[in-house]
């Protein structure tokens, strides 16, 4: 049976030093984070442990962690705003078309291409 684990990764001299708390004594390293899961599985095999999912957890200093939090928050807000704008655009196109405006007029009023108006009205 395989075991899901967390790989805690800290930068050290151009490498990621990797520790797996669920498997005491399992340490490895990787140049890039995308290599960590494979390195953990290889190291676990040497300990006769089968690893399933590897959750790669980079450990950052406080300032970097704070910036990453702000980044993810901003990305979430941007996604929500884009979803809201898309909904409003669909509603606007629908309303303008039902008011009798041509596709060209709707495109001119909303500032999008003719193709986009057509796609929105067909959605």
Structurally, how many domains does the chain consist of? 2
Q: Could you give the residue ranges of the DSSP H alpha helices within 31-100? A: 36-46, 62-98
Digit-coded pLDDT (tens) for 34-43:
999 999 999 9
In this prediction, residue 2 carries a pLDDT of 87
Interval 53-100: pLDDT, tens: 999 999 999 999 999 999 999 999 999 999 999 999 999 999 999 999
Confidence (pLDDT) at 71: 98
CB 54 within 8 A of CB 41: yes
> Which residue in the block uniquely carries the two structure tokens 């708390």?
21
Q: Is residue 50 part of a domain?
A: yes
pLDDT of residue 115 exceeding 80: yes
Are residue 54 and residue 86 in the same domain, yes or no?
no
Enclosing H/E stretch for 119: helix 114-122
Residue 74 belongs to a domain: no
Range of the domain at 103: 80-122
CA distance 7 to 41: 10
**23 Rama sector, left if φ>0, alpha if ψ -120 to 50, beta otherwise:** beta
The burial class, CB within 10 Å (0-12 / 13-18 / 19+), for 80 is exposed
84 and 54 inside one domain: no
Q: Is 69 inside any structural domain? A: no
């Amino acid at each position: 049976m395989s075991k899901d684990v967390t790989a805690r990764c800290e930068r050290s001299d151009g490498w990621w030093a990797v520790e797996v708390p669920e498997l005491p004594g399992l340490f490895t390293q990787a140049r890039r984070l995308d290599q960590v899961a494979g390195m953990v599985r290889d190291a676990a095999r040497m300990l006769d442990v089968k690893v399933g999912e590897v959750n790669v957890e980079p450990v950052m200093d406080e300032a970097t962690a704070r910036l990453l939090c702000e980044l993810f928050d901003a990305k979430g807000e941007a996604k929500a705003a884009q979803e809201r704008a898309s909904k409003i655009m669909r509603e606007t196109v629908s309303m303008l078309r039902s008011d009798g405006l041509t596709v060209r007029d709707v495109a001119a009023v909303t500032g999008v291409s003719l193709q986009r108006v057509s796609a929105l009205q067909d959605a």
